[in-house]
Copies of this chain bind each other. A is one copy, B any other.
Amino acid sequence: MAWFGNLIRNSAFKSLSSSSSIRTKPTNPHCLLASFSHFTTDATHHNQQSHLPTQYAGLEPTKSTEKPRVVVLGSGWAGCRLMKGIDTELYDVVCVSPRNHMVFTPLLASTCVGTLEFRSVAEPIARIQPAISKEPGSYYFLASCTALDTRNHVVHCETVTDGLNTKDPWKFAVSYDKLVIALGAEASTFGIQGVKEHAIFLREVHHAQEIRRKLLLNLMLSDVPGISVDEKRRLLHCVVVGGGPTGVEFSGELSDFIMRDVHQRYAHVKDYIHVTLIEANEILSSFDDRLRRYATKQLTKSGVRLVRGIVKDVKPHKLILNDGTEVPYGLLVWSTGVGPSPFVKSLDLPKSPGGRIGVDEWLRVPSVQDVFAVGDCSGYLESTGKTVLPALAQVAERQGKYLSGLLNKIGKAGGGHADSAKDIELGDPFVYKHLGSMATIGSYKALVDLRQSKEAKGISLAGFLSWFVWRSAYLTRVVSWRNRFYVAINWATTFVFGRDISRI
């Protein structure tokens, strides 16, 4: 840090350089190094830790006098709910994820058109589990996991910088006492060419940002002099592929945006904008028949074209259906369900039907010690005799909660450290009880299906009351008070002033 001193000595204001106030408190670098002594920061340590590859720095295995370390891969519903529930008196928590926040996915569709702001649906991990930013042994690392070494209880990671020229990717390793894999799933493209290149998924905040930027861009471009009527229609044709809750909610939000905001703010082009929802089977297939019919009627009424079709090919400005129909589009949103990511597929662990990481009824990966998997990346092994649970936020959240309880129990019983939980009684296995499904369809209307399964009987509601239930239910589920406050404010502002159309 010689340059710091030089900078001050050589260049400070003359009137100030004699004053001590220009310097911040002097910090002894050796002191700082000492407090991070469990970091391997130079080559001389490497020979002593034979299981860490020599080119890596990392977090060493914990000593038996230290708190055991839970490493969580991922920051979605399952990982975040788990971290929230972990007793940080018992464990240090280390989260490795390329994203420093959780996305409140049920409200993501609303952010694409400005009903809600992006930040209102993003919850920083440090707010979910404050120990991560304060406790000396708990960390959040902005990184991807690149390999698992279950024999040595180590995960290998690499930092993520998404193109910002600030630091080359940095490799490091983290030893764990307990490992929780909560890596989620990836949007399915069914191998259709052009989907990844030309369609936008709706799973992360940056997807919603891209949709909003593109929608506003197309609205403005279509108003430029000399654009042909066909080209205007093309630019303003919003196509949604996939009639699950996400696709339907996004279509509903879009039609609300068109009916209220486009008609007012883009009056010149309002007659050219259209929404088409393409689905191979039925929309909202997991919902009650009556609700499905209601949703179909409502969406059609608000101008959403429902088309039954299978997409064969996606080109830059048009997609092609199986029957050869060409569908020009300006915006293409793809939400046809999810499947395991390439990294999950590559893991040398037993798999459940569907290629997810196989777990037993206690969410353990049974072939190895101290490894658990939760959420969309995991599924019951065939040997459990249970069916794989659907990829839903409520499944992930319930699993995260259950596993935090289980880990706390193990920790209290003295089994927190690596390879020390073999004889501990785990208690009840995880049992999933479906609480029902909700989806909004625009125009202050929603569906609420409280049946426990597709075949069961139970309460199902549709209309304004459901919409009110939908809003209230999600508002109370938003994790922090800060975001709860912002979601309420956003809703109120949208109601009073309309949606914001600045393209920033």
Contacts and interface: CB of A to CB of B under 8 A. Distances in A.
A447 interface: no
A504 interface: yes
A173 to B, nearest CB: 8
Q: A interface, by DSSP: helix, strand, loop or mixed?
A: mixed
A218 B166 contact: yes
A101 B502 contact: yes
Contacts of A165: 198, 316
A456 interface: no
Contact of A308 (B11, B21, B504): B11
Given A166-B218, A221-B167, A57 B143 contact: no
A113 interface: no
A226 interface: yes
Contacts of A27: 271
A4 B275 CA distance: 12
A493 interface: yes
Contact of A6 (B23, B167, B266, B325): B325
Interface stretch (A79-87, A134-142, A183-191, A341-349): A134-142
Contacts of A227: 57, 170
A268 B139 contact: yes
Interface of A: 1, 3-4, 6-8, 10-14, 16, 19, 21-24, 27, 29, 32-33, 39-41, 56-59, 99-101, 117-119, 122-124, 126, 133-134, 136, 139-143, 159, 161, 164-167, 170, 172, 174, 198, 205-206, 209, 213-214, 216-218, 220-221, 223-231, 233, 235, 264-268, 271, 274, 276, 278, 296-297, 300-301, 303, 305-309, 316, 321, 323, 325-328, 330, 480-482, 485-486, 489, 493, 496-497, 500-504
A504 B225 contact: no
Contacts of A328: 3
Contacts of A99: 503
Contact of A11 (B4, B58, B297, B323): B323
A134 B261 CA distance: 12
Chain B CB within 10 A, most for which of A7, A22, A40: A7
A497 B117 CA distance: 17
Nearest to A142: B220
11 contacts: A3-B327, A8-B307, A11-B323, A22-B305, A29-B229, A124-B502, A126-B265, A140-B223, A166-B235, A167-B235, A481-B497
Contacts of A172: 224-226
Given A124-B500, A124-B502, A170-B226, 14 more contacts: A7-B325, A8-B305, A11-B308, A16-B300, A101-B503, A118-B504, A119-B504, A126-B501, A133-B267, A140-B223, A159-B221, A165-B316, A170-B224, A170-B227
A480 B500 CA distance: 12
Contacts of A226: 39-41, 56-58, 170, 172
A136 B229 CA distance: 17
A-B pairs, top 4 by smallest CB distance, nearest first, are A57-B226, A101-B502, A142-B220, A122-B502
A122 B274 CA distance: 28
A258 to B, nearest CB: 10
A217 B140 CA distance: 12
Contacts of A40: 225-226
Nearest to A10: B325
Contacts of A126: 265, 501
A504 B205 contact: yes
Nearest to A208: B504
A320 to B, nearest CB: 11
A458 B268 CA distance: 51
A119 B166 contact: no
A142 B266 CA distance: 13
A328 B167 CA distance: 13
B330 A166 contact: yes
A501 to B, nearest CB: 5
Contact of A486 (B12, B480, B482, B493): B493
